[in-house]
Chains A and B, each alone.
Chain A
Amino acid sequence: MAYYARKTAGFIVTLLLVSLVTFAVFQILPGDPATAILGVDADPVQIEQLRHEIGADQPLPQRFLNWAAGVLRGDLGASYQYRQPVAKLISGGLSVTVSLAVFSLALTVLIGIPTGLWLARHGKKLYAAPVTFLSQLGLSVPAFCMSIVLIEIFSVQLRWLPSMGYTPWAQSPLKCLQSLLLPALAISFGSSAVLIRYVRASVSQQEGELYVRTAKSKGAAPGRVMWGHVLRNSLIPVLTIFGMLVTDVLGGSIIIENVFSLPGIGRLISTSIATRDLPLIQGLVLYLAGIVVVCNFVVDILYSVIDPRIRLK
């Protein structure tokens, strides 16, 4: 029990430290939110008014305490720039970013695993050269470059798919998929190339193992050897890579959002920093840090459930 209590305490302290540090960093950074939002044409009275409305005229420690007290009540405060609850803005942004990430990962798997398997079999043949070349290209071309190429082909020339904006799933599932297809392709072009390489290498390695020789020599059909033996074994390391790709894709989608003007977390992060929108930045940091910390926390707990010896360490 003490183990869980210790972990929970660590979890809370981490979040507290993260928010304190962000808060402090934004005090050191020059730039006043009211001036940043209203710009050079603002009347001094307007700036004072806004500073007052958003509470920027209160002393520092009090602002932090107010904010922290709000968080404890489950209230992340309101954004300076958008005058909307931070929680609502974040969940709105997250729905875009996560839809994009899920879609990209699905494409990554759909492209990566079959191609990897195929290449493991036929990779040395001449007719496989274009596929190998494309996957090499995927590794070397950054996603935003790919985006520009895709936009030029599918939006500007063919006019099949939109290059900007986002339609929520609830409004029109088809339009939602359309608005996400190009950005997801741009992201998965690179990430599926990574997956292809791992699948291919892993399958090739497994095929050289002794158990494959045994299976073959006892007369198992090549398909059965592949699906029943090799694939299962080679997917274990691939699964690990996939877990890392998830983080890559989430990170990559933040850049791609700007190229496709998608209103996701990436755009929230960049605009909130530019306008010194402290509540929104704090909320975003807390959210992202919270997700990471919660995941680590759950994994720790899971480990200890699976292997009770860990608790004693």
Chain B
Amino acid sequence: MKAFSENLRRALCGLLILALAVSLTGCASEKVESSSGVSSEPKVVRINTTADPDSLDPWRSAASDTEAIFHNVFEGLCLYDSDGNIIPGLAESWEISKDGKTYTFHLRKDVTFHNGKKFTSADVLYSYNQLTGLSGGEPLTKKFSMIESIEAPDETTFVAHLNAPSAAFLSLAVMAVLPEGYEEQATQPVGTGPFRFVEYTPSQRIVLEKNGDYYGKGKGDDPGRMAQVDRVEVYIMDDTAAVVSALRSGQLDIAAILDAEDAKVLEGEFDIYNSPQNMVQSLFLNHKAAPFDDVRVRKAVSYAINQQEIVDGVFGGYATPLPSNFSPVMAAYYNDSLEGTYEYNVEQAKALLKEAGYENGFFMTITVPANYQKHIDTAQVIAQQLAAVGIDAKIELIEWASWLDDVYKNASYQSTIVGLSGKLDPDSVLGRYESTYASNFFHFANEEYDELISAARVELDDEKRIEEYKRCQEILTEEAAAVYLTDPNLIVACRKDLKGFTFYPVTFYDFSSLRYE
């Protein structure tokens, strides 16, 4: 009888939970989508992304996945093309003074924001005041600390005075310009791009719509940057299997961030594109943790790793082996003479270990973020390869948020496998090794390197600058600052009648280039 009443109690409890929950959901208000009311079928592109945007306000966002989508909504004074060249954006031209310290931007006259406000120099002034903190208030980023003062002499001119020449300034000026006095960026963002923001449903989707008033139409039949589809729906899905079945069942038109195995399944039915993505996947070593304080040990580990085995085994061939901390996708700055420096050589590795006094190998821990299967797979291949030279590597899986804290912020680790993604300017990639860089979690310190990085920052002669960055890569390779592995290719599957998918050297899905044929 007692058991029965206990069961009855549980049953009642369950039913009550249900009843209560049902009544609660009645309160949830649902927004009814407004239909566009167009007679012809609107052209819609549906694509996936892995995570929620970190912020809808571009000044407060840092995640490259967010930028990949919202660069369609926001524009800066400058834009970049698919080769990473800086091209005119909201500024149709600019002049740089002889001393490299004064930039005069001539702004377009035919631009309106998505909320109907006309774009003028006041918006640029407002934006750069907010970003730099020059009008009082905290700066929103450190990137623009080279700006000393700004002014807007007339409606279509904006002038920035720098405290020193800056080679990176134009590539930083891709930063979004936002309308003056508009406060709703974090919930209803407004920009000038070829697509306008429509809605964002947390953990479900982001919807963008063609900006019919966009200024960037090309001449004649050339659409320029004008959108050729009416609507883009971005679905937030963290499960790749779900992405593949959504594509195969016609619920997605493009599936991005796929695995090689998925690409093979989808090959016949869909167009598959792939390209290096300007990411550096490495076995990063903590130079303050023995035995990686010894360059001979770091070199030994580099020789002991067979990159091709990782490219083939982990990435199914869809990855590019790297000789240094730089992706060949940034072709102009890439130092290809370093390729093959650490050709797989077990004997060499053993000899170096012996020289460093680790004849019998040693024990090491590889800390790997648990949410990146590819990094985990890579760690397993590496652990096996290291065993061949007597190094006993233990893989420790760690949650991403803990990785950010323990490894990235506090550098309490011995070695880790992760991918660091690059931006348009080489400084954002190579500057990570500057000894004064806040997140130099490798504890790499090299005087010549620091000097080169500082010099390249203010070097306006492109050729000299390229030489400096190439030398930086050389130092990283010579010092075996880390064990450089691959740039994992971005794999995209596209419906066959959807054309125009373009890769950029930064994570950016250019929706304006997409068209149905």
Seen from chain A, the residues whose Cβ lies within 8 Å of a Cβ on chain B are: 29-32, 35-46, 49-50, 81-84, 89, 91-92, 94-95, 97-99, 101-102, 105, 148, 151-152, 155-156, 159, 162-166, 168-171, 237, 239-247, 250, 258-261, 263, 267-268, 271, 274-276, 291-292, 294-296, 298-299, 302-303
Assuming the contacts A46-B140, A91-B25, A159-B250, asked whether A83 and B187 have C-beta atoms less than 8 A apart, the reply is: yes
Which of A36, A46, A292, A303: most chain B CB closer than 10 A?
Answer: A46
Give the distance in Å from the alpha carbon of A81 to the alpha carbon of B236 in the complex. 14
Contact across chains for A45 and B402 when beta carbons are under 8 A apart: no
Contact across chains for A37 and B16 when beta carbons are under 8 A apart: no
Contact across chains for A295 and B28 when beta carbons are under 8 A apart: no
Give the distance in Å from the alpha carbon of A92 to the alpha carbon of B8 in the complex. 31
Assuming the contacts A82-B52, A91-B27, A94-B28, asked whether A35 and B409 have C-beta atoms less than 8 A apart, the reply is: yes
Contact with A along B13-28 (1 / 0, CB 8 A): 1111110111011011
Seen from chain B, the residues whose Cβ lies within 8 Å of a Cβ on chain A are: 4, 7-18, 20-22, 24-25, 27-28, 30, 32-33, 52, 54-55, 60-64, 138-143, 186-187, 201-205, 235-239, 241-242, 245-246, 248-251, 371, 399-402, 404-406, 408-409, 418, 420-421, 423, 438-439
Which of B251, B401, B409: most chain A CB closer than 10 A?
Answer: B401
**Which B residues lie within 8 Å of A38 (CB)?**
54, 61-63
A163 to chain B, nearest CB (A): 5
A301 to chain B, nearest CB (A): 11
**Which B residues lie within 8 Å of A42 (CB)?**
62
Give the distance in Å from the alpha carbon of A295 to the alpha carbon of B21 in the complex. 11
Contact across chains for B52 and A41 when beta carbons are under 8 A apart: no
Contact across chains for A258 and B238 when beta carbons are under 8 A apart: yes
* Known interface pairs A31-B404, A164-B246, A298-B16; 4 further A-B residue pairs with C-beta atoms within 8 A, sorted by A's residue number: A40-B408, A50-B60, A91-B25, A155-B248
Chain B contact residues: helix, strand, loop or mixed: mixed
Which of A36, A89, A164: most chain B CB closer than 10 A?
Answer: A164
B505 to chain A, nearest CB (A): 15
Contact across chains for B405 and A30 when beta carbons are under 8 A apart: yes
Assuming the contacts A39-B54, A163-B251, A261-B242, asked whether A240 and B404 have C-beta atoms less than 8 A apart, the reply is: no
Closest partner residue, chain A, to B419 (CB atom): A40
Contact across chains for A36 and B401 when beta carbons are under 8 A apart: yes
Chain A contact residues: helix, strand, loop or mixed: helix
B419 to chain A, nearest CB (A): 9
Contact across chains for B13 and A165 when beta carbons are under 8 A apart: no
Contact across chains for B18 and A259 when beta carbons are under 8 A apart: no
Give the distance in Å from the alpha carbon of A162 to the alpha carbon of B243 in the complex. 12
Closest partner residue, chain A, to B202 (CB atom): A82
Contact across chains for A164 and B400 when beta carbons are under 8 A apart: no
Assuming the contacts A45-B140, A163-B249, A295-B16, asked whether A263 and B201 have C-beta atoms less than 8 A apart, the reply is: yes
Closest partner residue, chain A, to B4 (CB atom): A240
Contact across chains for B249 and A155 when beta carbons are under 8 A apart: yes
Which single member of A44, A162, A239, A241 contacts B438 (CB below 8 Å)? A44
Assuming the contacts A162-B251, A263-B201, asked whether A299 and B13 have C-beta atoms less than 8 A apart, the reply is: yes
**Which B residues lie within 8 Å of A83 (CB)?**
55, 186-187
Give the distance in Å from the alpha carbon of A83 to the alpha carbon of B202 in the complex. 10
Can you list 24 pairs linking A and B with CB atoms under 8 Å apart? A30-B402, A35-B409, A38-B61, A38-B63, A39-B63, A39-B64, A43-B143, A46-B140, A46-B141, A94-B28, A95-B25, A148-B241, A151-B249, A155-B246, A156-B248, A163-B245, A171-B30, A243-B12, A244-B11, A259-B242, A261-B239, A291-B17, A292-B13, A294-B20
Assuming the contacts A92-B28, A156-B248, asked whether A261 and B408 have C-beta atoms less than 8 A apart, the reply is: no
Give the distance in Å from the alpha carbon of A84 to the alpha carbon of B27 in the complex. 17
Contact across chains for A240 and B25 when beta carbons are under 8 A apart: no
**Which B residues lie within 8 Å of A162 (CB)?**
249, 251
**Which A residues lie within 8 Å of B239 (CB)?**
258-259, 261
Assuming the contacts A291-B20, A298-B16, asked whether A261 and B245 have C-beta atoms less than 8 A apart, the reply is: no
Give the distance in Å from the alpha carbon of A260 to the alpha carbon of B14 in the complex. 25
Which single member of A29, A101, A164 contacts B18 (CB below 8 Å)? A101
Closest partner residue, chain A, to B401 (CB atom): A31
Give the distance in Å from the alpha carbon of A42 to the alpha carbon of B7 in the complex. 53
Give the distance in Å from the alpha carbon of A36 to the alpha carbon of B404 in the complex. 7
**Which B residues lie within 8 Å of A295 (CB)?**
13, 16-17, 20
Contact across chains for A271 and B32 when beta carbons are under 8 A apart: no
Assuming the contacts A46-B60, A170-B30, A240-B10, asked whether A32 and B405 have C-beta atoms less than 8 A apart, the reply is: yes
Closest partner residue, chain B, to A94 (CB atom): B25
**Which A residues lie within 8 Å of B406 (CB)?**
30
A240 to chain B, nearest CB (A): 4
**Which A residues lie within 8 Å of B28 (CB)?**
91-92, 94-95
Give the distance in Å from the alpha carbon of A159 to the alpha carbon of B401 in the complex. 38
Give the distance in Å from the alpha carbon of A292 to the alpha carbon of B241 in the complex. 34
Closest partner residue, chain A, to B404 (CB atom): A35
Assuming the contacts A49-B60, A159-B250, A171-B33, asked whether A40 and B141 have C-beta atoms less than 8 A apart, the reply is: no
